[in-house]
């Protein structure tokens, strides 16, 4: 999880980049070979992406930022699902209302909300002067479309679907959100957002591993080899989770994962049992937690 300072720096980088794009791009799509610098020497290094929607050249803007293709969501919805747009300049957010679709984009967030579902954007989303810039694949998922990347053409092909994203009410299973958000909050409520997602990943990865139960509830309360999660013994599992932990749980349930391998985590500073680091393979560290496969 990026620190607040690094998040601000990333936001400033994206602001500068998109300001350059707005100055350099015309209403028609611009394609530039990977690595080619923009015509303005004072602008940051920028790569533009060629896009097609149902094989028709896309006339909106697309730019590569931190290895992710970003688009102006207003322009893309005009192409796929025309929406009424309600910018909130004070909050730096934009609300989109289209056919069977409601989306909210807030500047600096690591997700967008589409039909009450939380779609993760690790490199962030950006709102400036009422325009929302989001990763293409995330925007496509919200709009019910698919994206195929052609590296040889340095181009993205968008294939539209029959309907936008399924609403949360018929997608999330209440019991899964209930227990996953509680174990995330109990174990990592004070951790960075990515640390909370990683804890959720551990639980979901275990449901797919043969040596663990195959349900979220079963994994959390598993005691086959002793208590697996301390909050189930000290009662913290029953604490009301924060909104952030609930969002992290829903992002995990969307299938987003920092690692499909991690099955264990440990806070070495507080641990009294070191079976995990002695017997498992280290994968990564996020804040106070070390994660193992």
Same domain, 11 and 139: yes
Strand order from edge to edge, sheet including 62-65: 47-48, 62-65, 68-72, 131-135, 126-128
CATH number of the domain that 133 lies in?
3.30.457.10
Same domain, 44 and 135: yes
Please name the residues in contact with 206: beta carbons below 8 A apart, sequence gap of 6 or more.
212, 213, 219, 222, 263
Summarised one tens digit per residue, pLDDT across range 6-39 is 444 454 455 455 554 444 333 322 222 222 222 2
DSSP H or E stretch at residue 62:
strand 62-65
Question: How many domains are there within the chain?
Answer: 2
3-state secondary structure of 234: helix
Q: Which of 132, 166, 200 is the last residue of a domain?
A: 166
With a cut of 70, which residues of the chain have pLDDT below it? Answer: 1-46
Q: Which domain holds residue 9?
A: 4-166
How far, in Å, CA of 163 to CA of 145, rounded?
A: 8
Same domain, 160 and 178: no
What is the model's pLDDT at position 27? 30
Q: Which of 99, 132, 166 is the last residue of a domain?
A: 166
Residue recorded with tokens 């560290």: 285
Same domain, 145 and 272: no
Please name the residues in contact with 49: beta carbons below 8 A apart, sequence gap of 6 or more.
31, 62, 63, 64, 69, 154, 155, 156
> Which token pair is 187?
């174990």
How far, in Å, CA of 19 to CA of 251, rounded?
A: 30
Same domain, 149 and 275: no
CATH number of the domain that 194 lies in?
1.10.10.2520
- DSSP H helices, the chain, are 4-24, 73-80, 136-143, 174-188, 193-207, 216-220, 231-234, 243-253, 275-279
Same domain, 158 and 218: no
Please name the residues in contact with 158: beta carbons below 8 A apart, sequence gap of 6 or more.
51, 52, 53, 54, 58, 80, 136, 140, 145, 146, 147
Cα 232 to the chain's mean position, in Å? 28
Same domain, 192 and 154: no
Summarised one tens digit per residue, pLDDT across range 101-113 is 999 999 999 999 9
Same domain, 223 and 258: yes
Cα 106 to the chain's mean position, in Å? 13
Question: What letters, b where the CB count within 10 A reaches 16 and e where it falls short, cover 169-184?
Answer: eeebeeebbebbbbbb
What is the model's pLDDT at position 46? 61
What is the model's pLDDT at position 24? 34
Same domain, 30 and 144: yes
The residues with which 118 forms a beta bridge, in sequence order, are 113
Same domain, 20 and 48: yes
> Which token pair is 154?
């340095």
């Amino acid at each position: 999880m990026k620190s607040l300072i690094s998040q601000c720096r990333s936001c400033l980088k994206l602001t500068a980049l998109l300001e350059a794009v707005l100055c350099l791009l015309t209403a028609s799509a611009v394609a530039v070979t990977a690595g080619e610098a923009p015509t303005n020497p004072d602008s940051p290094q920028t790569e533009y992406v060629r896009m097609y929607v149902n094989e028709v050249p896309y006339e909106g803007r697309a730019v590569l930022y931190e290895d992710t293709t970003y688009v102006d969501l207003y322009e893309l919805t005009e192409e796929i699902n025309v929406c009424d747009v309600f910018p909130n300049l004070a909050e730096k957010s934009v609300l989109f209302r289209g056919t069977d679709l409601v989306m909210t984009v807030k500047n600096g967030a690591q997700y967008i909300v589409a039909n009450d579902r939380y779609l993760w954007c690790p490199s962030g989303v950006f709102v400036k002067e009422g325009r929302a810039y989001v990763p293409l694949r995330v925007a496509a998922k919200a709009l019910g479309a698919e994206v195929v990347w052609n590296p040889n053409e340095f181009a993205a092909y968008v294939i539209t679907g029959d309907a936008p994203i399924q609403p949360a009410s018929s997608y999330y299973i209440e019991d899964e959100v209930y227990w996953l958000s509680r174990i995330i909050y109990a174990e990592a409520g004070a951790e960075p957002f990515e640390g909370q997602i990683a804890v959720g990943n551990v639980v979901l990865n275990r449901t797919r591993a043969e040596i663990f139960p195959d349900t979220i509830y079963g994994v959390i309360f598993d005691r086959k080899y002793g208590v697996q999660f301390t909050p189930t013994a000290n009662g913290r599992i029953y604490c009301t989770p924060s909104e952030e932990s609930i969002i992290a749980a829903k992002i995990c349930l969307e299938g987003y994962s920092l690692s499909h391998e991690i099955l264990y985590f440990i806070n070495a500073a507080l641990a009294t049992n070191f079976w995990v680091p002695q017997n498992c393979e280290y994968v990564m560290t996020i804040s106070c937690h070390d994660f193992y496969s």
